[in-house]
Structures are given as C-alpha cells and as structure tokens.
A = this chain, B = another copy of it.
Amino acid sequence: MSGLKIGVVGATGMVGREYLSILEQSRLEIDRLRLFASQRSVGRQLPFHGDQLPVEEFTVEAARGLDVAFLSVSTELAREYAPKLAAAGTLVIDDSSAFRLADDVPLVVPEVNPEDVRHHRGIIAGPNCSTAQMVVVLAPLHRANGLRRVVVDTYQAASGAGKAAMDELIEHTRETLAGHSPEPRAHPHSLAFNLFPAVDSFRDDGYSNEEWKMLAETRKIMHLSDLCLSATCVRVPVPIGHSEAVHLEFDQPMDPRDARRLLEAAPGVVVVDDPRNGLYPQPALAAGRDPVYVGRIRADSSRPGGIALWIVADNVRKGAALNAVQIAELVFGTGRR
C-alpha cells in the first residue's frame, strides 16, 4: 500500500499548527500532506519535516483525492463541508462539536472505544477537550469496576477558547500589571488574575453547554447511557493545560491502591502522585506533552468505596489534534477503512 494523502483543513489555526507537529511524529505513512485554510492565508508556508508546505485555499473541489482530512474549523463550517468531503471518498476526522452526538458518526477516543471506528460512514468525531482527557482515565477504572457517578470540576486553559483567547490572557495580564483595566473581547470577562464558571453558552437548566457536553459525550464514548455526571466548567488564567478535580462512584467499592495500579497500566496515562514530594499533575508541566497525567488518587472521604483524583493534559494535543491523529492511526494502521 502506498502512503496516504492527508489534508489539514484549518491548518493555520492553533490546533491546525499542532497537527503538523503531531503528524511529524506519527506512524502514519504519509505520501503527501496538504494544508488548507481560508483565502487570506494563501501564500503562507508552514514547516513540516524540514520542508515548507504552502497553504492552499480550501474548497471541496481543491481537497478532492484526499484519503483523510483533519477538520479543525468552526462547528458551522464542519457541518457544511464534512459531508461533502465524505461523499467524495475522504475520511473526515472532525474535532468540532458538529457531529459528535450524531447516531451515524462514531465519537472516538482511541484508548477508550477504538472498536467504534469500524462503524463510520466517512466521518469520525473527536470529543470536547475536557471530555477526552477525562475518559482516558475513567475507562480503565470502569473496565475493572462499573462506573456509576462522576462529579467533575474543571480548571480550563484560555487556549480552549482558541488562539485569540490565549493571546488575550497574556495581553490582559501585561495590561493589568501596568495598572490598566483591559476590555475583554475573546472572553466574556478579563481572565487576567481572574477566573469564571462560564465555558460556552448556557442552557435552560442552568448548565453550560460545555458541562452538558461532558455528560453527553462521556456517555456515548463509554457506552454508558445511564452514567450520572455533573460538571462545573471554569475558565482559569492558564494558557495551555486543562485540569480536572474528579470524584467517582462505582458498582463495588474501589480501593485507591487498585485504582492506582489500573491507571499505571493504562495506555496514554502517566501517574504522577507523590504529593508530599511536590509531585502532582500541573498544567505548566503537561503543556506540549502527549500523556494524560493523573495524581492525587485517594479514597473519596465523602463516600465509602469512592475515589477522588486529579487529571491534567494539554488540551490542544490530547484534547484535539493528538486524539484525531490517533484515530487516523487506528483506522489506517489496522487496514480498516
């Protein structure tokens, strides 16, 4: 089999750029990599394996002939273009929320539900960033002892709202240190030395859509349609790296030593858990790295048999680009399509 013709659509965005760095390290056999963006990025070049690749204007016609397209665009654009690319024979791996809950689209985290890629009809979705890192930790525990309930409170980095939002955190921090009161544009409030419990828009039931996605996407990925989950999603003044405080209940009591052993053996997970020596996951240490880090593993003091723990990962990598490339490796590495 000759190599793959791969396209990254939205290549000049923050996640798009991350695709290039992850594809450089991927075991996918790449025959040709093409970069697409909107018309105003045409003429730019981005580095890949020592070459400079040109950015092309995206159209469905221009992208014809790709084996796989990584879509890193808005939900609206994904909704418009993914079916057209799929109809033209390209496997679309989409990181927007457009198709995540569609019945005929697998929602996949390769460490959790790799078997679901088999059922795709041309589109495979990756989950929300805060969901992706959490299910990588929940899955090995659930396989050993059925998961019943999840309470999760998040500490989400500015980059989860895009590059402009990350840049605004840095710029607003500079301005605040200089004694100014900057006006928010990318965030609903200034994030400089501040935080707020508002990620995405709000629903009638008082939850944000981000919080609701964590419930709905976790249920779909883990095939647990009755899983109980409540989330509070909070934006914090950190550029990269989502953190999550998680409290879990299982069918049977879970011993924290068993939880630790299961997580130490789990793919994609690194246990960092020696708090007396200052060792626990932190966003500054997770940024730019692939694993999902977990620590503070302990018995939940409010529920016999429950477990509390702390999860941190690079939201731009495992939360988006890395997960999508792993999906492609799963599809093409096994010869399935």
Category for how many chain A residues contact B: 35 or more
- Pair A197/B280 contact, Cβ less than 8 Å: yes
- Pair A298/B205 contact, Cβ less than 8 Å: yes
Q: How far is the CB of A155 from chain B (nearest CB, A)?
A: 6
A194 at the interface (CB under 8 A from B): yes
- Pair A149/B205 contact, Cβ less than 8 Å: no
How many monomers of this protein are in the complex? 2
- C-alpha spacing A181/B256, complex, angstroms: 35
Which A residues, 146 to 204, have Cβ-Cβ distances below 8 Å to chain B? 149-151, 153, 155, 169-170, 173-174, 177, 188-190, 193-198, 201-202
A2 at the interface (CB under 8 A from B): no
- Pair A234/B155 contact, Cβ less than 8 Å: yes
Known: A155-B195, A195-B155, A236-B195. Contact between A299 and B206, CB under 8 A? yes
A110 at the interface (CB under 8 A from B): no
Please classify the interface of chain A as helix (H, G, I), strand (E, B), loop, or mixed, using the class held by over half of its residues: mixed
- Pair A296/B196 contact, Cβ less than 8 Å: no
A223 at the interface (CB under 8 A from B): no
Known: A206-B296, A278-B188. Contact between A302 and B232, CB under 8 A? no
- Pair A197/B230 contact, Cβ less than 8 Å: no
Known: A243-B234, A301-B215. Contact between A283 and B153, CB under 8 A? no
- Pair A275/B236 contact, Cβ less than 8 Å: no
- Pair A189/B282 contact, Cβ less than 8 Å: yes
- Pair A230/B207 contact, Cβ less than 8 Å: no
**CB nearest neighbor in B for A215:** B301
- Pair A193/B238 contact, Cβ less than 8 Å: yes
Known: A206-B297, A283-B195. Contact between A153 and B229, CB under 8 A? no
A140 at the interface (CB under 8 A from B): no
